[in-house]
Amino acid sequence: MSTEKLTRRVGISSSVPPQLTPERRQRATGLLRVLVDRREFGSLVALLLTCTIFSLRSPYFLTIDEFTNVSLLTAEYGIIAIGVTLLMVAGEFDLTVGAVFALAPWIAGSLYVSHHWPMGLALAAGISAAVGIGVLNGVLTVCLELPSFIVTLGMLFFWQGMLIGVTGGYPVSLAGNRPELLRLMGGPLFGGRLFAPVIWYLAILGIAAYVLERTSWGNWIHASGSNAAASRAMGVPVARVKIVGFVISALLAGVTGVLIFGYQGSAAAAQGEDFELYAIVAAVVGGTSLFGGEGTVIGSFIGASIIASASSGLVLVGAPPAWYTAFTGFVLIAAVIVNLRIDRAKLRSSLLGNR
Amino acid sequence: MSLAPPETGRKSMLGARQIRKCYGPVLALDSVDFDVGSGEVAGLVGDNGAGKSTLIKVFAGVEHPDSGYVVFDGAPVAWRSAAQARAAGIETAFQDLALCETLTIVRNFFLGKEIAGSLLSPMRLQRMRTEARDALGSFRLRIRSVDAPVRSLSGGERQAIAIARAVHFGARVLILDEPTNALSVNETDKVLDAIREAVRRNIAVIVITHTLAYVNDLADRVYVLQQGKVIVTVARGELSTADMEDIIAGRTRVGGDVDAVHR
């Protein structure tokens, strides 16, 4: 059947009077249909598969201890991936997050330890630095019309280099003397079965999912990444949407750094290496498009869960640590292939009117 | 040539009066007079570089004339920006720039005008769906689901949706740049149906095109531009498509005396 014949059957045809559409009939297929229709479906299957394999290979995978580990690691990757995903949907990349993740807690820690600032103020200073970097990324990209991939890569190298240069690579440590505020950020809950960053993550995830999928601002994020010129023509402030995106992304990377600071009680200058790449992997595995206009933070949550499960699970089954990186690469490419196939199948079925 | 609107029964909705525009040494528009009334279609034809794009940019507030002025709804205007022209009700739809492919129909339809209390309060998606479905239905576009992504639609359907959207949100003048470019006959019909519906609702429509075959039939008047000048204005059915092609290609000479051609 030619494309044109297909097209004609899409469900829009002229010269037919308006009437109630048979949408209800399609709804009848129910929950399964809704699930399959979501972009994240492929990655959800991948997550279940990963967990099943690890739990078959190791009796320790489905335990509380393991859940504590994996959930904390998921939160660490996941919060960063939220910002990166929002920005990718808006059509831009942020590679600076790895450096911001290290910089924000280091600033807060140094101000607290060496300059005796109150912790609240020190944390605010660290977060402000993160926001400042986000603003700089946004302004350089949007106002100078530079590719964000290059701008944020340059900023990543710059700040990573500066941080190692200034600190000599030494961490800031609180040496067991953790103020209450930091406990709130990263301390243990339920007798150490869960850590606070996980709760923060779920809260931020909920807010981000709501904004991206339910609000006008979310619609503008999608539109800016999908077709910036058309969005501008419809009155969407594309530049503002993108700059805010860079700020949120940097902010969340800084927040993650501070939460992990609260968990560890120390901030290493060299931490966060490759986090920008894992965040992109989490987003892409979760179905976010590299070309903008498509993606969900729920997807990046599933993506982050897969990476975190693998990181911990591979250790449990006795694999050498390097396998983790190899596994991540494999999952990334497999996910892109599967998501593309699902997209094509969906497009075909909607062209045929089967949706 | 008189400054009064050409012989049309209707009041001019959007017009040009002796508009002149230069880009450096190049004279892009030279003493252009133009009018389109509510519920009328004006065609704008001519070869590449004839000045069609410059004229619509002046109408849309993107470019400013060196001399002469735009008349909108009976009064002279000088748009300061494209946004101002848009707010007044002049909507321009470029074929490939109209919609966001990855967004659903309803999200495209309401893009920039979502029904929501504020930027961060929930969109009233049910209301938006109903309203979009009704609006598209009244343009005789029957849609299975307004939740389908725009990329699953054909070119003609996309263009028709862009037209329906502009009309729904109160456009008074609709400027369409090559609305049927690269579309099949069947798809072109969908776009033409949408344009006729807009006309029925008293919208003033300007169609820029290379395709004379349909514009001669669709437009109440066709303005033929050549090197920045309106060389002839043809009322519906006054000239055959072949005659118009000859004029555009320069095979028929048209002087200041337009009537010579009409006879």
Most confident of A210-214, B22-26, B47-51, B135-139: A210-214
Q: How many CB atoms lie within 10 A of CB A33?
A: 13
Residue B75, beta-bridge partner list: B72
pLDDT averaged over every residue in chain A: 84
pLDDT given at position A31: 66
pLDDT averaged over every residue in chain B: 84
pLDDT given at position A106: 93
**Nearest CA to A195 among A25, A348, A70?**
A70
Please indicate if any CB of chain A lies within 8 Å of the CB of B103.
Answer: yes
Q: Give kind and range of the element (H or E) at residue B226.
A: strand B221-226
- pLDDT grade for A13, boundaries at 50, 70 and 90: very low
Q: In this structure, are residues B17 and B36 in contact, taking their beta carbons and an 8 Å threshold?
A: no
pLDDT given at position A211: 96
Least confident of A276-280, A334-338, B6-10, B202-206: B6-10
DSSP-based three-state secondary structure for B116: strand
Residues of chain A positioned with their CB less than 8 A from the CB of B134: 18
- pLDDT grade for A25, boundaries at 50, 70 and 90: very low
Please name the residue that has the structure tokens 């400042």.
Answer: A132
pLDDT given at position A15: 38
Average of per-residue pLDDT across B94-109: 85
Most confident of A327-336, B231-240, B252-261: A327-336
pLDDT given at position A22: 45
DSSP-based three-state secondary structure for A350: helix
Please indicate if any CB of chain A lies within 8 Å of the CB of B121.
Answer: yes
Tell if the CB–CB gap between B92 and A233 is shorter than 8 Å: yes
Q: And the tokens for A138?
A: 């946004």
Interatomic CA distance for residues A10 and B149, integer angstroms: 11
DSSP-based three-state secondary structure for A315: helix
The string of pLDDT tens digits covering residues B131-155 is 999 999 888 887 788 988 898 888 8
Choose among B119, B122, B189: nearest Cβ to A14.
B189
- pLDDT grade for B184, boundaries at 50, 70 and 90: confident
Q: And the tokens for A227?
A: 């077709």
* Overall pTM > 0.90: no
Q: And the tokens for A102?
A: 């290290």
**Which amino acid is it at B212?**
L
Average of per-residue pLDDT across B207-230: 86
**Which amino acid is it at A21?**
T
**Domains in chain A, start-ordered, CATH in brackets?**
41-341 (1.10.3470)
pLDDT given at position A244: 97
Residue B221, beta-bridge partner list: B42, B235
Whether the per-residue pLDDT at A186 is higher than 50: the answer is yes
Question: How many CA atoms does the CB half-sphere of B45 hold within 13 Å?
Answer: 26
pLDDT given at position A303: 93
Looking at residue B28, the DSSP 8-state letter turns out to be E
- pLDDT grade for B21, boundaries at 50, 70 and 90: very high
**Nearest CA to B152 among A135, A275, A345, A216?**
A345
Interatomic CA distance for residues A48 and A37, integer angstroms: 18
How much helix, strand and coil, in percent to the nearest 5, is found in chain A?
70, 5, 25
Instruction: Give me the residues of B, 44-83, that contact A with CB < 8 A.
Output: 83
Interatomic CA distance for residues A221 and A219, integer angstroms: 5
Q: In this structure, are residues B151 and B102 in contact, taking their beta carbons and an 8 Å threshold?
A: yes
Whether the per-residue pLDDT at A27 is higher than 60: the answer is no
Please indicate if any CB of chain A lies within 8 Å of the CB of B100.
Answer: yes
Interatomic CA distance for residues A282 and B58, integer angstroms: 47
Tell if the CB–CB gap between A219 and B149 is shorter than 8 Å: no
Average of per-residue pLDDT across A309-337: 85
- pLDDT grade for B198, boundaries at 50, 70 and 90: very high
- Give how far the C-alpha of residue A301 lies from the chain's centroid of Cα atoms, to the nearest Å: 7
Q: In this structure, are residues A304 and A78 in contact, taking their beta carbons and an 8 Å threshold?
A: yes
Phi and psi torsions of B144, nearest 5°: -65, -50
Q: In this structure, are residues A313 and A112 in contact, taking their beta carbons and an 8 Å threshold?
A: no
Average of per-residue pLDDT across A271-300: 91
Q: How many CB atoms lie within 10 A of CB A259?
A: 26
The string of pLDDT tens digits covering residues A46-75 is 888 888 888 888 887 778 888 888 899 999
Q: What is the DSSP string of A197-261?
A: HHHHHHHHHHHHHHHHHHBHHHHHHHHHHH-HHHHHHTT--HHHHHHHHHHHHHHHHHHHHHHHH
What whole-number percentage of chain A has pLDDT above 90?
A: 46
Q: What is the DSSP string of B38-81?
A: TT-EEEEE-STTSSHHHHHHHHTTSS--SEEEEEETTEEE--SS
Q: In this structure, are residues A171 and A268 in contact, taking their beta carbons and an 8 Å threshold?
A: yes
Closest CA–CA distance from residue B19 to any residue of chain A (Å): 25
Whether the per-residue pLDDT at B44 is higher than 70: the answer is yes
Residues of chain A positioned with their CB less than 8 A from the CB of B120: 211, 215-217
Whether the per-residue pLDDT at A14 is higher than 80: the answer is no
Q: And the tokens for B29?
A: 């528009």
pLDDT given at position A9: 35
pLDDT given at position B9: 54
Tell if the CB–CB gap between A12 and B142 is shorter than 8 Å: yes
Whether the per-residue pLDDT at B4 is higher than 60: the answer is no
